[in-house]
Structure 1
Amino acid sequence: MAAQPTCFQEADPRLALWRRAGVEGAGTFFLMLAAGGGGIAAARVFAAVPGMILPITAIVIASALVALIVALGSVSGGHYNPLITMLQWLAGERSRGCTIAYMLAQFAGGLAGGIAAALLWGAPVGGAGGFGWHGIASEFVASAGLMLVVFGCMRSKRVETGPFAVGAWLIAAVIALPTTSFANPAIVLGAAVSAGPVALGGASLVPYVGAEIVGALLALLLLLLLFPRGAEA
């Protein structure tokens, strides 16, 4: 019997790795461009109503991610996030070579997207140094929640709902958490060289990424308990 298709997995893993990794790089680039550019635009348009900046930024980020997953996900799986790729490797669902290629492409895309957003808007690069322990805890929670949504959809074989579930979670997490829920090491890297509300100071890079990795690993442990091997829906 043929395996039932699932989301966040490429439709044809035999497709050349450079093509699949290229899609991951391009998708991460456009995701970071939308996050950075959307934040700058919202800050300028709603300068007199600062309370609107965060929800508008959340909608922009979630919309871009859903669109990119739906449009390109069949080629690469539509991760655009090293955490997803890393957990698939740890779960034995992706080879080491593919994992390395995807993650390199994702980091390169995030970096380029952050720079492009600042250049296109002519905005000064740089942001706050972070939120201390509150920021680290925020990224831990954001990453754990995102991975639970992503892999919960994968294990449930809900192919069509995966992108929209991720988008819905991101809108909620961006608004609810103090760091605007990066939950993505490639986007954190891009934010460190970008501008506007999503920009981060370099001091946030290591602690935020560390918190995201730990949050993702916790999510993997929970997923192993919730979806034991052979018991997926």
Structure 2
Amino acid sequence: MMTPPLSRRLAAEAVGTAVLAAVLVGSGIQATGLSQDGGVQFLANVLASVLALAVLIALLAPVSGAHFNPLVSAAAWWTDRRSGTGLTARELGAYVLAQLAGAVVGAGVANAMFERPFVQLSGHDRSAGHLWLAEGVATGVLILLVFGLLRSDRARYAPVAVAAWIGAACWGTSSGSFANPALTFGRALSDSYTGIAPGSVPAFVLAQVVGAGVGLTLVTLLFGRSSDRAPDDARELVAH
């Protein structure tokens, strides 16, 4: 299958990340307005987010790979940088910008849908070592899952598998599994249930980067190098 033009791939990444951010932030706002029970709020937010993620991956993977995550794009570039079958450095930069822009717009639209300012900086401080560890774990397993599916020729399972891991990680990690620098940045622009204070973002992103590096190392350890798989699988990358 021919690779779509870069403009279409960037549009898919921006739109997909925007919709994901809008559902993530919007469902959090909706949940807190409908229930005072913290468990119910969290369940509603997680359920809406993973359903949206699965649908968006299934829809947009044939166009851009449905990364929606700068670390997935960076890992795709890194693993295929010598083969010439994956993203170029220029395309990686464009993907990341599209994802960041999508996250900002999506969070803003969610704010606006619930009669809040388009940009409303979050006051939710999330600065603690156990949260950073949780982000590293959530992101590392995400990268292991995405690229493990690729190396084992099972990318077709990605919509369900990735959404399932994100849902499990939301409940199983203390940070709630942001696992995505773009969405972390977008969530800083909404002072709502899912928000994160701007001052907490750098450490979260650093933990995610470290986790992604560990995840890539595990991929090589468990599934071999990228040269061990078919080149045609290079674009079918998906993630939160």
Residues 133/96 of structure 1: CA separation in 2 closer, same or farther (3 Å cut): same
Question: Which of 181, 204, 208 is residue 204 of structure 2 equivalent to?
Answer: 208
Q: Give the equivalent residue in structure 1 for 2:59.
A: 71
Q: 2 CA distance for matches of 1:188 and 1:25?
A: 15
RMSD: 1.5
After TM superposition, the score normalised by the length of structure 1 is 0.90
Q: Deviations over 1:81-110 (max 9, x none)?
A: 111000011112321111111111001101
Q: How far is 1:128 from its partner?
A: 1.0
CA distance in 1, matches of 2:98, 2:144: 23
Bigger Cα displacement from structure 2, 128-137 vs 161-170: 128-137
Which residue of 2 is the match for residue 105 of structure 1?
Answer: 98
Q: 1:138 aligns with which of 134, 137, 146?
A: 134
Corresponding position: 1:33 with 2:22: yes
1:20 to 9, 32, 41: 9
Q: Which amino acid aligns with 2:71?
A: L
Aligned equivalent of 2:89? 96
In structure 2, the partner of 1:199 is 195
Show CA shifts across 1:34-59 (max 9, x none): 10001111111122x22111121111
The C-alpha deviation readout for 1:170-211, integer Å capped at 9, x for no partner, is: 111111212211100000010000132110101111000111
Normalised to the residue count of structure 2, the TM-score between the two structures is 0.88
Paired letter, 2:148? G
- Aligned partner of 1:190 in structure 2 is 186
- The runs of at least 4 aligned residues of structure 1 exceeding 6 Å deviation read none
Q: Which amino acid is the alignment partner of residue 184 of structure 1?
A: N
Between the aligned partners of 2:69 and 2:19, the Cα distance in structure 1 is 12
Q: Which runs of 5+ in 1 are unaligned?
A: 1-10
Cα distance in 1 for partners of 2:181, 2:6 equals: 22
> Paired residues, what number?
221
